[in-house]
Structures are given as C-alpha cells and as structure tokens.
C-alpha cells in the first residue's frame, strides 16, 4: 500500500527510523530492507543518527540488486542548536547556505543525487514562525524546485505553526513528522490540517509515547480478537486514521511483526475506541 502527497508523490505505508542505532545502523538498515521495508528515515545530525552508515547500507544493498529507485529516502536539516561540534555545514554561514550545505552533505552520505523527502527537523520558534523559520523554509522550497528532493516537510511542529506555514508558504509541506501521543487524540489537530492540505502525517514514538495504551485492557482485547499484538493494533490504527507510522525497532522479529500490521483490519468501533482511549 502507498500514500500520495498533494504533488502526486507515492510514499510507502511504513517508515523504518534509524535514530539511536549508532554503529548498528548499517546492519539494521539492511535487515529492515530485507525484511520488507522500503522507506528509511534519517537525519544529518550525528548526536542521534548515523546518516553515513545508512549510505553504507544502501551501497551494499545496491550491490545486491536493490536499486536506489526502489527505496524512499528521507533525511532532515537540523539547525546548529540541535547539533554538537560535528555540525555538517558551516554554522557561521547564513541559514540559506546552511540548508544547502546540509543537503549536499546528506546526498554524499547517502550516496545518491536526490532525496525523496527533505525535512526541517524543527522550527526555530516555539510559538509562531519567525524570520529564521521563513528563511530556512524558503531555502527548502528552492531545493524542491531544483528537484534535489521530491518532497519537503517539517517535524516537531504545532497545529498553529502548521496552519501558518500552509497559509503563507510558496510550497506547502508535503509531509509532517510528529511525536504522536494518545492524550492529544493522537495529534488530531495536526493530522486534520495535513488531511486538509494533502500532506502526509508521519507519526513517531507511537509505541514508546503510549505505554498505557499498549497495556490497556481494551487494546489487549482488540489484539486478542484480531489475533494480533497490541503493537500491531496501534500501528494498524495509525494507518487506518491516515497516518504513515515509523518504527525504530532493532529486532527482525519486530520488523516483520510491525509490517504485518497492515494485514489486519480494525472495525470503525475499534478505531474510534483507540482514537479516544486517552481523552
């Protein structure tokens, strides 16, 4: 199954996330692709990600017959305050230059000449959008227009900020990636805005941010009825409400289990119960 953005780009229905994999990154990316994932999320931010090791895995996969075009690659521009001393661009340069240098460095790490999706890791502003946010977004728009990336998107954004971005941007984000908590009806306001604007909502920490949901007797009952695990119920719920979920599992058993979530179908009542379980 794939999802489609407003600019008609197809995106696979599950993303494999590579944060915190350290030296195991290359091995786990290969394992994820061999297990059935075709979409990879990373970032040019050495504190949490090893983007160059993702590239190493992609090169091995290419040698074994998995071409670049068969994969969906997404990476992020992380501002200097989200980096340590290993900033992958000149932190003294203007923001437009930083974004371009970071993308070029990502292309080098990933051994490719284009990205499927390029993401602003987080707005600079906590509320609203300031001059720095608009400058970075304009630089991302330029990269999209020059075809270095098929999509641009934003992460860690509030509903108010997203509404503003969609209203004022020349190129609206094609995707949004947020941590997804059940207590906010699974980020419903942001999801609704994405739906309105034809953007894909990517949810991360679906399991780790919602341990109470996984342990809830109602979710366990749904899992038992479906012959599934609570993790699969949460991932399938995410898909049925229109999200593109991420998983960051390090286990092949869980990779296979997470992908198999797509094979179950929750009833409308089950979806509604999970959507409102923490409200």
Question: How large is the C-alpha radius of gyration of the chain?
Answer: 18
Measured from the CB atom, the residue of 18 and 35 that comes closer to ligand NAP is: 18
Give the one residue of 11, 14, 17, 238 binding ligand NAP; rule: CB under 6 A.
Answer: 17
- Distance, in Å, from the CA atom of 59 to the CA atom of 62, rounded to the nearest integer, reads 5
Under the binding rule (CB under 6 A), the answer on residue 231 touching ligand NAP is yes
Measured from the CB atom, the residue of 143 and 223 that comes closer to ligand NAP is: 223
Minimum distance of ligand NAP from residue 117's CB (angstroms): 12
* Candidate ranges 25-33, 88-96, 163-171, 254-262; the one touching ligand NAP (CB under 6 A): 254-262
Minimum distance of ligand NAP from residue 65's CB (angstroms): 25
- For residue 43, give the nearest of 23, 13, 20 by alpha carbon: 20
* Candidate ranges 4-12, 86-94, 128-136, 200-208; the one touching ligand NAP (CB under 6 A): 200-208
Measured from the CB atom, the residue of 147 and 261 that comes closer to ligand NAP is: 261
Under the binding rule (CB under 6 A), the answer on residue 248 touching ligand NAP is yes
Under the binding rule (CB under 6 A), the answer on residue 265 touching ligand NAP is no
- Distance, in Å, from the CA atom of 200 to the CA atom of 83, rounded to the nearest integer, reads 27
Give the one residue of 187, 258, 259, 277 binding ligand NAP; rule: CB under 6 A.
Answer: 258
Residue with tokens 């934003």: 154
Measured from the CB atom, the residue of 146 and 266 that comes closer to ligand NAP is: 266
Angle at 75 between CA 176 and CA 194, to 5 degrees: 10
Using CB under 6 A as the criterion, what x/- string covers residues 39-78 for binding ligand NAP?
--x-------------------------------------
26 Cβ contact partners less than 8 Å away, ≥ 6 residues apart: 50, 53, 54, 56, 57, 60
266 is written with which tokens?
């929750």
* Candidate ranges 14-22, 100-108, 129-137, 164-172; the one touching ligand NAP (CB under 6 A): 14-22
Give the one residue of 156, 158, 184, 240 binding ligand NAP; rule: CB under 6 A.
Answer: 156
Nearest 5°: phi and psi at 49?
-130, 155
- For residue 64, give the nearest of 29, 40, 93 by alpha carbon: 29
Helix (H) or strand (E) holding 219: helix 217-226
228 Cβ contact partners less than 8 Å away, ≥ 6 residues apart: 222, 236, 261, 264
Under the binding rule (CB under 6 A), the answer on residue 257 touching ligand NAP is yes
- Distance, in Å, from the CA atom of 279 to the CA atom of 274, rounded to the nearest integer, reads 10
Under the binding rule (CB under 6 A), the answer on residue 249 touching ligand NAP is yes
Under the binding rule (CB under 6 A), the answer on residue 204 touching ligand NAP is yes
What is the β-pairing status of strands 2-4 and 10-12? antiparallel
For ligand NAP (CB under 6 A), the number of binding residues is 24
Q: 250, 208 in Cβ contact below 8 A?
A: no
Write out the residues near ligand NAP by the rule CB under 6 A. Answer: 17-19, 41, 121, 155-156, 177, 204-208, 229, 231, 246-251, 254, 257-258
């Amino acid at each position: 199954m794939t999802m489609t953005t407003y600019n008609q780009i197809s995106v696979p229905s599950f993303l494999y996330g590579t944060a915190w994999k350290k030296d195991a990154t290359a091995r786990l990316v290969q394992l994820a692709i061999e297990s059935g994932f075709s979409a990879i999320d990373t970032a040019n931010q050495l504190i949490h990600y090893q983007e160059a090791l993702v590239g190493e895995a992609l090169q091995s996969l290419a040698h074994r017959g998995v071409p670049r075009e068969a994969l969906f690659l997404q990476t992020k521009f992380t501002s200097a305050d989200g980096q340590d001393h290993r900033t992958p661009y000149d932190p003294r340069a203007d923001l437009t230059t930083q974004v371009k240098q970071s993308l070029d460095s990502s292309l080098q790490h990933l051994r490719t000449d284009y990205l499927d999706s390029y993401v602003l890791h987080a707005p600079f502003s906590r509320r609203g959008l300031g001059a720095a946010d608009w400058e970075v977004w304009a630089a991302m728009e330029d990269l999209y227009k020059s075809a270095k990336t098929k999509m641009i998107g934003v992460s860690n954004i509030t509903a108010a900020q997203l509404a503003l971005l969609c209203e004022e941007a020349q190129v609206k984000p094609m995707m949004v990636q947020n941590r997804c908590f059940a207590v906010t009806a699974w980020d419903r306001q942001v999801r609704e805005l994405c739906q309105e604007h034809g953007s894909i909502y990517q949810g991360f920490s679906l399991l780790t941010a919602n341990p109470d949901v996984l342990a809830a007797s109602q979710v366990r009952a749904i899992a038992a009825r479906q012959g599934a695990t609570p993790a699969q119920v949460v991932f399938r719920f995410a898909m049925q409400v229109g999200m593109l979920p991420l998983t960051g599992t390090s286990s092949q058993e869980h990779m296979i289990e997470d992908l198999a979530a797509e094979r179950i179908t929750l009833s409308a009542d089950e979806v509604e119960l999970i959507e409102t379980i923490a409200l």
